[in-house]
Amino acid sequence: MPEKPKLSVYWASSCGGCEIAVVNLHEKLLDIDRSLDFVFCPCLLDTKVADVEAMADRSIAITFFNGAIRTGENEEMARLLRKKSELLIAFGACSVGGSIPALSNLHSRESHLRTNFLDSPALDNPGGVLPQTRTEVAEGTLELPAFFDTVKTLAQVVDVDYFVPGCPPEPHQIWNIVEAVIQGKPLPPQGETLGAGASSVCAECSRQKEDKTVSRFYRTWEIVPNSSQCLLEQGLVCMGIATRQGCGALCPAVNMPCTGCYGPPDGVRDQGAKMISALGSVIDIGPYKGMTEAEVVAKTDAVLDSLPDLAGGFYRYSMAGSLLRRSR
């Protein structure tokens, strides 16, 4: 019997939702089991890193690598799985753009350690001890991975064959990739984004869009939006205009604004900058006639002050891959 192609799934700095998306393949997991040898997945299998190291280079047909690169262990595993995999796929928003872990880039490594190990009122640490990568104790040597100052995307560390966005990716998009490998179908050019389109979520959103201006913005709990009108035009910060299509506009379909988990569309380098540009065209600060410069500034500031959490809103899924990348 010929040897089945190998499949691996690895999580770096992430929440585990991408593994749940794999499990949500439901009965198609049986098809995967018939056609692929699932060799490595730390949250599901007991395969050791040493077992992966012993594999021949490029012997794993597909590795779905989810999670951002936060620690030395994350980077070490990224390099190992790149070496052992035929196809290395940046799987999910954390791997593709940094996502929630990369909002940590707004602070320094030192400030994280100080907050968590020195300044927290729940701690008892009179000696001011901080985690070290290597510590000698009576029982032997304790080792921890290096904690990096900057969270990176997978592609900022190793070459990536394909990108699958989403928080998490949709199960049917996962199946499309696995099925193509199982059946030997031709794959797109290297570096392509799979399971998504080139345009924005607005292109697949059924809500009615008009040329309206917004005089203030709302948090989702502050209003009950009209179920048919564009959410952005109602003052909710919907990231659909700055987000790649492919999810089917699932969130706007249930009266919730898009939060941007598919990352920027084709041709957009910075998702947050695209959103800022879009808001500039809908903010109502006129009419200018009869207004002093100070009045225009004050009115503009009032509208902008109603925007909640600019960094967490505009760069929630893309900070590490953005032009900002981190605080300077």
pLDDT confidence tier of residue 300, bands split at 50, 70 and 90: confident
- pLDDT classification of 304: cutoffs 50, 70, 90: confident
pLDDT surpasses 80 at 31: yes
> Mean per-residue pLDDT for 201-225?
91
Output the pLDDT for position 108: 94
pLDDT score of 286: 67
Determine the pLDDT at residue 189: 92
pLDDT score, position 52: 96
Query: pLDDT band for position 1 (50/70/90)?
Result: low
Read off the pLDDT of each residue in 110-136 and give the average, rounded to a whole number: 92
| Three-state SS sequence of the chain | CCCCCEEEEEECECCCHHHHHHHCCCCHHHHHHHHCEEEECCCCCCCCHHHHHCCCCCCEEEEEEECEEEEHHHHHHHHHHHHHEEEEEEECHHHHHCHHHHHHHHCCHHHHHHHHHCCCCCCCCCCCCCCCCEEEECCEEEECCCEEEEEECHHHCCCCCEEECCCCCCHHHHHHHHHHHHCCCCCCCCCCECCCCCCEHHHHCCCECCCCCECCCECCCCCCCCCCECCHHHCECCHHHHCECCCCCHHHHCCCCCCCCCCCCCCCCCHHHHHHHHHHCCECCCCCCCCCHHHHHHHHHHHHHCCCCHHHHHCCCCCCCCCCCCCC
Q: Tell me the whole-structure pTM to 2 decimals.
A: 0.91
Mean pLDDT of 94-111: 96
- pLDDT score recorded for residue 296: 82
207-221, 279-293, 303-317: range with lowest mean pLDDT: 279-293
Per-chain mean pLDDT for the chain: 92
Mean pLDDT of 135-156: 95
- Domains, the chain, ranges and CATH? 6-101+151-182 (3.40.50.700), 111-148 (no CATH), 201-314 (no CATH)
pLDDT computed for residue 3 by the predictor? 85
Structure-model confidence comparison of residues 309 and 314, the more confident one? 314
pLDDT 10s digits, 242-294: 999 999 999 999 999 999 999 999 999 999 999 999 988 888 876 667 788 88
